[in-house]
Structure 1
Amino acid sequence: MTKFHHTADIHLGKTYRTSAGTNLRYEDFFHTLTSIAIDAISSQARFVLISGDLFHTGQILPKTFAKTIEILQPLKDAGIPCIAVEGNHDWIHRRDSISWMEALSQMGYIKLLRPTRTENGGYRFDPFDEETGSGGRIEIDGINIYGLGYIGAQAGAHVPRICEAVTTNNNILLFHVGIWTYSPVEIGNIKPEEALPLAECFDYVALGHGHKAYTVSTPDGRPYAFNPGSPERVNFGEEGYDKGYWAVKVEDGKYTPEFRTTAPRPMQSVTVSVDGADTAEHAMETLKTELADKLQNAGEKPLIQLKVTGRVQFHPFELGRERVRRLLDEVADPLHCEIKNHLSLITGSGIGEKEHRSLADIERDVLRELIGMNSEWKGKEDELVSVALTIRDHVLKGDVEGEELLGFLSNYHEDTKDTKKPTEENNPFKAVIN
């Protein structure tokens, strides 16, 4: 009998730069991986599979790399190899540079699998070379492990080529991809019918990408693909997901997965309506009462997302984020909170008429006016407002590094064929970034 652990979407290095709890949140993801490594050693697992997104970004801090090695060292000492593939978060923009995943593989802490592309567009899974730390497949205890990683939105069209390249029996495939109807993410998925041929070539397809655990079966009910989800809660919206990893036993060619749960940080998303409030003070009183009720079981140092809604008779800006943040600190003492002001302002626009303007509408109008003040961006205000707000949201969530932000702007420039590439001096997003 062979035992192995299957995890994915660890997101080491994730934190919140705008939060006082940034250090604790940074450590959460390392604690989760540590618990999986400890269980693998105590369970005498033969190997550990990591189906992509070991890191939160391709450009990580040196201390993140050092802490990763610290966690992987006991597995290496115990002779338990970590076989991994790259997820979309692990990639770096400049492929002429060595990635942190490649460095870990060359140092022997993981075995990074990546296939070779043939001249006709097919795949070739060469045996893993221990000296170079590269290859497309590896054999352990008679089990042939193939690795693919993330190949983008057209992954479904590549499945036939993947299957054509398989030359062995008793196979596992590491594939950083989601399956539509199962995966909660919006991009990087393939259709269930596109994935089905994999069931003929692989006994166990180790998925990643979506942060929700699920199992995919053939039409006759045979499970063949397994996604563990992320073992820690990475983004708001995941509070309802079971968090953990798969512990799998293989005996006589039969794969028996067991889902083992982890202990992620508490997370809660709440919505409070202050509809009808005539003053900001009135709205704050309502917020305090509602939050005390809804967050009474939020847990220790939770992650909280608060959405404030309603039509009010005061300007939505009066209910500032810092003011609401102090209230949340008093009620629940969160490690980190995100506040979304969805209030609508009731204003008189004529006899017997009233107009409702949300804070989001006001923000867009102000930003549109700022961008439109530069004649070089005339006619593109709406498009640039959307891009700028997207950047703002990612920065506030702590989801992007400087390198990723630069890549995002460069991709925007290339996709739109803009003749005027943004620079430090000539940047329509400078106001919102600052």
Structure 2
Amino acid sequence: MRFAHLADTHLGYKQYGSEERMIDFAQAFKNAIEFALSKDVDFIIIAGDFFHKKSEMDPITLAQATKVLEKVNVPVIAVEGNHDASYFRERFTWLDYLAAEKYLINLKPNFDDGIVLEEWNGQNGAYVDLGEVRIYGLKYFGALTEKVLSDYLPRIKKDGFTIFVSHFGVEKYMDIYGCISSEILHRYRNKIDYVALGHIHMKYVEDDFIFNPGSLESCDARESFFEKGMFIVDVNDEIKYVHEKNFYTPRTFRFLEYEFKSSDLREFKEFLVKNRGRGKEVVILKIKYRVKGIVDEEKVEKIAKEVLSPLVLKVEWIPEASTYDVKISDYSSRAEIEKGVLKQLLSRFGYEDLADDVLKLKELLADKKVEDAFGLIDDLVKVGRREVKRMEKEVEEAEEEVEEEVWDWRRAYDKRSLPRKRKKL
């Protein structure tokens, strides 16, 4: 017997709003299924998070799933992950839809009278028999996982080679929400031969008993460092497996970090040239700065896109809040040093031009010239009021320019209904 075990395909994930990234996830799934079939597997296991969204299914994502699954000539066994269905609501999910259309078998227990493990009847059930193999399935239950397992696992009845498929994490490999101790599973080694898991997006195997293949693509930038792929498992007198990953090359993530110490963009461009890849990568660019506004952010991003030709560029601006680039040698007096520091502080908020007024206010208060001080404060308040009025006027003008047409969906079947202008509130 030979089978494939994959998980966390996350079909439909338009990462960073990129259509290309959504295609990446679909291509990874297609390649995985085609590779598994080329290995003459007897069945395929998908251990949760088949889709990325449990609702708001779009036609393209559904087509990506069905166009691949309709070519599969062996049983596909699946369970629902946290991205496929909420774990308390007994409602019809997209995996239920695929099961009703005979694309796959969606395993989960019946909770009408406690946990009931019924055989798959073509529409629902907790286990299915495929020749001499019995496969049990349990969907994601989050914080209730340990409690549900304590009721579910004792009810498993071994019949031939027994597989348990579910979607949760095992502690110590990655402590995220929905993880349990592996000891809970090891107690049932007399009933279970292979535990097929998903949820954690990195590959791990424990005692040739608990298997987690990792995702096929990176759902988060940090996951680009994780080992990904799927298992091809052979069962004769013992379990032999290979973690396959060469059927698909995940999108490259490139991490760059640069610090602006001056407004010179030439050095920044030279840095990018030295560190650019082959293009069409997801680039995470972290930029440190000491003074807000030291460079034009739009220009920085434009240069980065021109030099790196990334698929996606994510720029993170990181201020060094406690650092001021003030050189004593640049100033001839303590007053000038004080002004330089204050100007940099105010520049973080776009008010560096007020540095002289703030220092003058400080001097007046120090000399107890209260009347003059209050006069200056009044001037500063007027500046602030003018700024607020200017911003309010810009908002009002922007609102007047935008007249959004909104279709009255409540009267969608009324032939007389017309697009209406949205009233200003």
TM-score, normalised by the number of residues in structure 1: 0.70
In the alignment, is the contact (CA less than 8 A) between 1:228 and 1:246 conserved in 2? yes
The aligned counterpart of 1:367 is none
Q: 1:68 aligns with which of 65, 79, 83?
A: 65
Deviation at 1:155, TM superposition (A): 1.6
Establish whether residue 251 from structure 1 lines up as the match of residue 236 from structure 2. yes
CA distance in 1, matches of 2:87, 2:239: 37
Aligned counterparts of 2:86 and 2:182: Cα–Cα separation in 1 = 29
Match of 2:172 in 1: 181
2-structure distance, mates of 1:166, 1:96: 22
8 Å Cα contact 2:216/2:228 also seen in 1: yes
Corresponding residue number in structure 1 for 2:11:
12
Which consecutive residues of structure 2, in runs of 5 or more, have no partner in the other structure?
Answer: 327-333, 350-422
Aligned with residue 32 of structure 2, among 36, 47, 50: 36
| Offset at residue 319 of structure 1 (A) | 4.6
CA distance in 2 between counterparts of 1:215 and 1:128 reads: 28
Q: Which residue, 268, 273, 277 being the options, matches 1:287?
A: 268
Matched residue, 1:126: 118
Counterparts of 1:65 and 1:153, CA distance in 2: 29
> Which digits, 9 at most, give the CA deviation of each residue in 1:322-353, with x for residues without a partner?
43332232222111122111122556999878
Amino acid corresponding to residue 239 of structure 1 in structure 2: S
Query: Identity of counterpart residues, as a percentage?
Result: 26
Corresponding position of 1:333: 309
Q: CA RMSD in A?
A: 2.9
Letter in 2 for 1:291: L
Give 1:301's aligned amino acid.
K
Show structure 1 runs of 5+ residues with no match: 218-222, 363-424, 426-434
Structure 1, 264-273 or 59-68: larger mean CA deviation: 264-273
Question: Which amino acid in structure 2 is aligned with residue 89 of structure 1?
Answer: H
CA contact (8 A) 1:153 1:190 kept: no
> Which has the higher mean CA deviation after the structures are superposed, 187-196 or 91-100?
91-100
Map 1:155-166 → 2, pairs under 5 A: 155-166=145-156
- What's the counterpart of residue 112 of structure 1? 106
Change (3 A) 1:209 1:94: closer
Rg larger in structure: 2
Cα distance, 1:330–1:26 mapped onto 2, change above 3 Å: same
Cα distance, 1:97–1:203 mapped onto 2, change above 3 Å: closer
Contact 2:169/2:176 (CA < 8 Å) preserved in 1?
no
SS in 1 for 2:316: strand
Change (3 A) 1:191 1:288: farther
Judge conservation of contact 2:290–2:325 (CA < 8 Å) in 1: no
| C-alpha distance 265-71 of structure 1, shift in aligned 2 (>3 A) | same
What do the CA deviations read for 1:364-394 (whole angstroms, capped 9, x no partner)?
xxxxxxxxxxxxxxxxxxxxxxxxxxxxxxx
CA contact (8 A) 2:31 2:248 kept: no
Q: Distance in 2 between matches of 1:83 and 1:90?
A: 15
1:86 matched to which residue of 2?
A: 80
Deviations 1:376-413 (A, max 9, x none): xxxxxxxxxxxxxxxxxxxxxxxxxxxxxxxxxxxxxx
Whether the 8 Å CA contact 1:128–1:137 is kept in 2: the answer is yes
Contact kept? 1:303, 1:334, Cα under 8 Å: yes
Q: Counterpart amino acid of 2:243? A: F
Instruction: Give 1:97 deviation, angstroms.
Output: 4.9
Q: Look up the SS of the partner of 1:274 in the other structure.
A: strand
> Which residue of structure 2 aligns with residue 237 of structure 1?
222
Verify: 1:23 aligned to 2:15, yes or no: no
8 Å CA contact 1:204–1:225 kept in 2: the answer is yes
Structure 2 CA distance for partners of 1:271 and 1:39, relative to 1, 3 Å: closer
Deviation of 1:31 (Å): 1.1
- Kept after mapping to 2: 8 A contact 1:34/1:71: yes
| Secondary structure of the corresponding residue to residue 68 of structure 1 | helix
